[in-house]
Structure 1
Amino acid sequence: MTAWNADTEAAASESGSVTVVEGSSFCISSGGGDISSDGGTNGAFFQDTRIISHWVLRVNGSLREPLVAQRPRPFEATFVGRAKWPDGRFDSPLVVRQVRHIGPGLQDDITLENYSAEPVDCDIELLVDADQADLFDVKGGRTSRRAEAVRSVRDGQLVIESAHNGQQRGTAIHARGAVVTTDGLRFRATVPARGKWATSVIVVPLINGQSPDEPFKEGGLPHHREGALRHRHWEQNVPRITVADSNLQAVLNRSESDLGSLRIFDEHHPERAAVAAGAPWFMALFGRDSILASYMCLLVDPKLAAGTLQTLAGLQGSKVDVDSEEEPGRIPHEVRFGVTAGLALGGTAYYGTADATPLFAALVGELSRWGLSRDIIQPLLPHVDRALDWIELYGDRDGDGFVEYLRPNDHGLINQGWKDSWDGINFADGTMAEAPIALCEVQAYVYSAYIGRSLLARWSGDVALEQHWAERAAALKTAFNEKFWLPEKGYFAVALDKDKQPVDACTSNMGHCLWLGIVDEDKAPSVVEHLMSPQMFTGWGIRTLASDMGAYNPVSYHNGSVWPHDSALVATGMMRYGFVDEARLLATGIIEAAEHFDGRLPELFCGFDRGEFPGPVPYPTACSPQAWAAAAPVQLARILLRLDPDFTRGVVHLAPILNEQMGEFSAENVLLDTSRVTIRAKGTDGSIEGLPPGLRLLAEPRPPLDSLLDDFGGVHHGN
């Protein structure tokens, strides 16, 4: 998940840093609450611009002694520290409490509490800077190139502005009772004995001189803000999941909370929630990431998938643009609002990805299985058809039936699948593949898009169209198993290169092919055997690249690391083909890895074997929270339940395979169609209370390969 053609290197946030996030805004600070970038990545960000780059609080001329940092909500943090007493005594009774809120700007509520029996005079100083650096420049360590910001005091507030390539970005800072200078804010306060002194510092971002519609303001209540109310509504309406396994319970609780915090809203359609890719660097809409994350959290909220699809549909390509790689029908890779991003590619959206477009069509089809209303699905159908047109007219560059990618410029992504780092696709000997490249998992996504369109035709009663797309899916499956299979190795090539030669590295990508059912059933056992081999399975998850491959590096981004979402989709594929023990072992490894990350799975971690270290080794610049990592435990819970609604056939499959350690599982308030149901399971027994009318419960898993093809003479695969 790299940002356009940026590499994966970035200065890591300092150890013990605290991140708060709301919508696309976020703030990274030290554990004491101060922000000091010093060429690093800390700061407060609004619309991909760093609106605060330095924020240091001094009391009586000294920094605070940090005591504790807490993050009760995703958008709020509390920092508690001890301030220096005016006479310099160490055991000071003066405590500083700093409550930070992030949103369309920043608000810090600062309170000094005096626990002594005498009043105390305090000098409080807040030193502030705002470099207005673009997020891409911050991540890449390029902020030193920026022009000097202009600092001024206007109307009782400090204003720091910077012009960059025709865009004016600024920050306005104020607080009641402050003496405002061009360096920051100063206060002179007398804190009574056993009493308090408090102020609120307000930060308002400015874009071409304009503030957001609803900025933080003095006297406002941050917990009454729209963002806070949205998160509270999310927590009240998501399913209430309880499970006897305390570790799994903690992981699922954290996942639900993080998914709520990663939602972003279209200002023109505030009722729509889409999911951002992850904090801190990817608090933006990503086609592939947002689609996969919203798919994996269908058990929590299928409306998040609907909002993601609706938002992406509004950005679907309409013209050919070499700079942004926009093409008619193409779904964007990434949407950004920073100045550098817009200059790099001529707009806020970049379209260079081979997989978002078929995944878009596939997810709309999946929503028909989950029973979402016609009011949601019907308006998406023209966008699905435009996506399928893109596959045929632009995605399949040479007419061989497979979707390939080749960037048409020198600044877009070199690799345009989910392993989009510059060195992410290579042969077994480590040689990098050359584009045009047809990835194995992208063909699986296209297969799923064809299946999805056929389901949608069934849903709308168009038998001829249903048969057409079923036949397209069957033909692609046949060609895929012929061209990508490596019989001498017993697994699928990760790709076909520019010469249509199989790229023969052993990778996790083929697990996505299992997930979507494009793999012939007779080949599945060998694929699973390789995925669960010591070269691929670390004990915590599946490596992106086998350890006996030439490019293997356990501390790389895509060549040997473990990505929780990737492993969760591989486990889903194993379960789909009936490899229950392997899927359960893999799911258990991922959940146990989460325990070492305080219940929150990161974007990725290093690919060392489980026996080498006491726990999984963190990857230094991994996003956390990150959407598809947060959604991975939800997807694992779903596959352990073997829960598969299928409104197109009027059934819901539920065939649990919970181990003894998990004990009883229940999920109340799960949305199916317009009904809220309760799912209960223990061991291999399961039930659903409150099923919508017309649905029947089947106590058996979904058939391993989609029986849709059987309706039109496809090969019967059985259960």
Structure 2
Amino acid sequence: MSEAPAALNAGEPALITDAGGTVSLVEGSTFCLSDGAGDVRSGTTHGFFFRDARMLSRWELRLDGRVPHALSVITPEAFTARFVLRRPPKPGQADSTLLVVRERLVGDGLRETITLENLGREATAVGLELRVEADFADLFAVKEGRAAAGGADATAAGTELLLRDRSDGIRGLSVSASAEPEVVPGALTWRVVVPAGGRWTTEIMVQPTLAGRLVEPQFRRGELAESTGPARKIEAWRSASTEVEVDDPALTAVLRRTESDLGALQIHDPARGGRPFVAAGAPWFMTLFGRDSLLTAWMALPLDVGLALGTLQTLAELQGREVDPFTEEEPGRILHELRMGPDSARVLGGNHYYGTADATPLFVMLLAECWRWGADEAMVRALLPAAEAAVRWIDEYGDRDGDGFVEYRRGTDRGLVNQGWKDSFDGINDARGRLAEGPIALCEVQGYAYAARLAFAELTEALGDPAAAAGHRERAEELRKRFAEAFWLAERGWYAVALDGDKAPVDALTSNAAHCLWSGIASDEHAAVLVERLGGPEMDSGFGLRTLATSMGAYNPMSYHNGSVWPHDTAIAVAGLLRYAHVPGAVELAQRLADGLLDAAAAFGGRLPELYCGFSRSGFSPPVPYPTSCSPQAWAAAAPLLLVRAFLGLQPHVPHRTLTVAPHLPPRWGRLRLRQLRLGPVTADITATGGEATVEGLPDGWTRSGTSG
């Protein structure tokens, strides 16, 4: 029996866990990693981070010098948590009568309220100590386990602890607290007597400083959590978003977590007009990433077109203007990542790094999709020059040898060896496991380039130069034909993952081939064979699609890109399969993969991680976590939205006043409903079950196609 439908906008259920593992809180470019007791433990990757630097490297609570016992963690939103603890029992006793609650909130700063509650029958005395240290280490240094260069100077100033980066003095931190603590370098302490049945509370504020100026946090002292900036931001995001209701409880839980995480991962940079974009994921990628931010915005279109527009506008502002081998900037190229940490100039190509082959065509694809979804035409027109520059990059710089394919090779030895979404050094290999030699032309990037040419043709025809549109369509069709000739491995039944520097096929069976279904570059004939290959036990783990088949030489289910399962990758595969729903077996495989993904989400508490190990479900259930997986992570959080859209067969075209809804919902979903779906100036309600759907609210003059109930 399915549970009653629950609305995505009805409020975020608290995620309650035991005290094991790492707890991640995130809000924009601020995040905090701690253990289950709330401690940021020295010597670990824990910390309070702001703008790609670790501001706190130690934040440990002690009661009479002892570590409190952790009981549970409650995270009602991605940016706040309540850690429930107790004082360790006295020697010879099993129970404790002192409850300790740490309530933490992050948002351009950190606020923590510590409450001691005496459940005993007599007053209790306790020595409370908060050990505080900072190292101001760059995010990459923390990730790689490298020591910070300079360390920190600590100064006690009354009830305030001041910390300053010793290396350059640019970054600093202020820690202040209520309840009159004694402050010394390295610690805040209180001597407390809590009466029987009584409580004692202190509120601690942590404020970063940049160049000697305090950063204004998104909260005030004593302010109710629901009134703070992060809470107002998530409420505004929910209010502006489409409501999604579904019978399936597993999908309901993951969609609720999706909405909360996407709201918390959004960055509204005042330096860029406050436009929203999504950071790629906590803890290591809390910044703008071209590929990740674009794909996440695409997946989130059913909730809000504004996020996609903000992402496009921000990336257009940072689009390449000149040739720079160090940063790999090229005219028209879309940024790979933006960094703000103290070591940014020494990481990859500096603060602005452009080493990606796929973000540029994805930019063009998303702009056209925003237009179809009803984005303001003036805003779309303003972005047309950026899209035109991106198409020129595909022709002049992306295609390095003039053969019509987009290739990559890093500009210096500091850059990324691989520049597709599988960007680990060993992410592209052949069936025997040998690494591919560049320049490398990835199969999915050719699909994106094909879709980008068609997208730009549609935009230019409608908004700019109709005569030029035919030329772009011809180039797209030529690419499609040449792609089939060069990449299809007829004797194997799949697309080569890439062509190497000698234009020889790199013949591994990978999930990249499924992206060729999503982009539409695959022929029906090839798609029919590919469905069989993707649906076999070599690729289908039971919890999603593996990145690399088990029969390949480099297969390792515990690797980053060679046999693991990435939720966004599986969701793109599902969307691709449903694009070819007329091909036998495509719908059935899409439903099976989606079921496995939702079962995995349930095992991870409703929050899909960046990736998990690709062991077979028959051998390992629940799925095995990948040890350094990001969570929350943007395109993993958005993946369920792509599932919803794909299974609905939802294709709006606001300028043409058409809406296509052709559902193939998995049976377990039951009824699915979208309320107040925004399509430019129009809002519509869609209700679907199985293969039937009804649409309400479309005004006169609109055309509805697809299956009706």
Question: Normalization by structure 2: what TM-score?
Answer: 0.93
SS at structure 1 position matched to 2:613 = coil
Asked if the contact 1:459–1:648 (Cα under 8 Å) also holds between the matched residues in 2, the reply is: no
Superposed counterparts of 1:112-511, under 5 Å: 112-143=116-147, 146-154=149-157, 156-164=159-167, 166=168, 168-176=170-178, 177-214=180-217, 217-269=220-272, 271-345=274-348, 347-460=350-463, 462-511=465-514
Asked if the contact 1:263–1:276 (Cα under 8 Å) also holds between the matched residues in 2, the reply is: yes
The answer to which of 354-363 and 211-220 deviates more is 211-220
Aligned AA for 1:64?
P
Output the CA distance in 2 between the equivalents of 1:582 and 1:189: 62
1:34 is aligned to 2:39: yes
Of 92, 101, 107 in structure 2, the residue corresponding to residue 103 of structure 1 is: 107
Task: Report what 2:25 is aligned to.
Answer: 20
Asked if the contact 2:691–2:707 (Cα under 8 Å) also holds between the matched residues in 1, the reply is: no
SS at structure 1 position matched to 2:559 = coil
1:78 is aligned to 2:85: no
- What is the CA-CA distance between 1:139 and the residue it aligns to? 0.7
- What is the CA-CA distance between 1:94 and the residue it aligns to? 1.8
Structure-2 change in CA distance of 1:178 and 1:610 (3 Å):
same
Of 55, 58, 65 in structure 2, the residue corresponding to residue 54 of structure 1 is: 58
- What is the CA-CA distance between 1:269 and the residue it aligns to? 4.2
The answer to which of 386-395 and 654-663 deviates more is 654-663
Asked if the contact 2:230–2:264 (Cα under 8 Å) also holds between the matched residues in 1, the reply is: no
SS at structure 2 position matched to 1:96 = strand
SS at structure 1 position matched to 2:552 = coil
- What is the CA-CA distance between 1:498 and the residue it aligns to? 0.7
The answer to which of 324-333 and 87-96 deviates more is 87-96
Structure-2 change in CA distance of 1:198 and 1:482 (3 Å):
same
- What is the CA-CA distance between 1:682 and the residue it aligns to? 1.3
- What is the CA-CA distance between 1:468 and the residue it aligns to? 1.9
Task: Report what 2:701 is aligned to.
Answer: 694
- What is the CA-CA distance between 1:329 and the residue it aligns to? 1.1
Asked if the contact 1:204–1:215 (Cα under 8 Å) also holds between the matched residues in 2, the reply is: no
Output the CA distance in 2 between the equivalents of 1:28 and 1:416: 29
SS at structure 2 position matched to 1:28 = strand
Output the CA distance in 2 between the equivalents of 1:660 and 1:533: 22
- What is the CA-CA distance between 1:238 and the residue it aligns to? 2.1
Output the CA distance in 2 between the equivalents of 1:111 and 1:22: 24
Cα-to-partner distance string for 1:493-545 (whole Å, 9 max, x where unaligned): 11111111111111111111111111122211111111112211112211111
Output the CA distance in 1 between the equivalents of 2:433 and 2:120: 67
Asked if the contact 2:247–2:671 (Cα under 8 Å) also holds between the matched residues in 1, the reply is: yes
Structure-2 change in CA distance of 1:191 and 1:386 (3 Å):
same
Output the CA distance in 1 between the equivalents of 2:244 and 2:218: 35
Cα-to-partner distance string for 1:182-222 (whole Å, 9 max, x where unaligned): 12111123323322211111111122322214465544455
Asked if the contact 1:365–1:452 (Cα under 8 Å) also holds between the matched residues in 2, the reply is: yes
Superposed counterparts of 1:537-686, under 5 Å: 537-578=540-581, 579-686=586-693
Asked if the contact 2:290–2:336 (Cα under 8 Å) also holds between the matched residues in 1, the reply is: yes
SS at structure 2 position matched to 1:268 = helix
Asked if the contact 1:266–1:311 (Cα under 8 Å) also holds between the matched residues in 2, the reply is: no
Output the CA distance in 1 between the equivalents of 2:187 and 2:698: 60
Aligned AA for 1:687?
T
Aligned AA for 2:417?
I
Task: Report what 1:715 is aligned to.
Answer: none
Aligned AA for 2:668?
Q
Output the CA distance in 2 between the equivalents of 1:271 and 1:559: 38
Structure-2 change in CA distance of 1:580 and 1:508 (3 Å):
same
Output the CA distance in 1 between the equivalents of 2:362 and 2:699: 28
SS at structure 2 position matched to 1:274 = strand
Q: CA RMSD in A?
A: 1.9
The answer to which of 41-50 and 203-212 deviates more is 203-212
Q: How many residues align?
A: 685
Asked if the contact 1:94–1:115 (Cα under 8 Å) also holds between the matched residues in 2, the reply is: yes
Asked if the contact 2:151–2:166 (Cα under 8 Å) also holds between the matched residues in 1, the reply is: no
Aligned AA for 2:203?
S
Aligned AA for 2:37?
G
Aligned AA for 2:405?
F
- What is the CA-CA distance between 1:62 and the residue it aligns to? 2.2
- What is the CA-CA distance between 1:660 and the residue it aligns to? 3.2
Question: Normalization by structure 1: what TM-score?
Answer: 0.92
Asked if the contact 2:218–2:228 (Cα under 8 Å) also holds between the matched residues in 1, the reply is: no
Asked if the contact 1:651–1:695 (Cα under 8 Å) also holds between the matched residues in 2, the reply is: yes
Aligned AA for 2:173?
T
SS at structure 1 position matched to 2:318 = coil
SS at structure 2 position matched to 1:199 = strand
SS at structure 1 position matched to 2:137 = coil
Output the CA distance in 1 between the equivalents of 2:285 and 2:75: 20
Asked if the contact 1:672–1:692 (Cα under 8 Å) also holds between the matched residues in 2, the reply is: no
Gaps of 5+ in 1: 1-13, 702-719
Asked if the contact 2:349–2:415 (Cα under 8 Å) also holds between the matched residues in 1, the reply is: no
Aligned AA for 2:107?
G
Output the CA distance in 2 between the equivalents of 1:541 and 1:486: 24
Cα-to-partner distance string for 1:377-402 (whole Å, 9 max, x where unaligned): 11111110111111112111111111
Cα-to-partner distance string for 1:454-479 (whole Å, 9 max, x where unaligned): 11123216321221211121111111
Of 27, 44, 47 in structure 2, the residue corresponding to residue 43 of structure 1 is: 47
SS at structure 2 position matched to 1:630 = helix
Output the CA distance in 2 between the equivalents of 1:88 and 1:209: 51
Asked if the contact 1:175–1:218 (Cα under 8 Å) also holds between the matched residues in 2, the reply is: no
Asked if the contact 2:497–2:506 (Cα under 8 Å) also holds between the matched residues in 1, the reply is: yes
Output the CA distance in 1 between the equivalents of 2:348 and 2:618: 45
Structure-2 change in CA distance of 1:558 and 1:327 (3 Å):
same
- What is the CA-CA distance between 1:286 and the residue it aligns to? 0.6
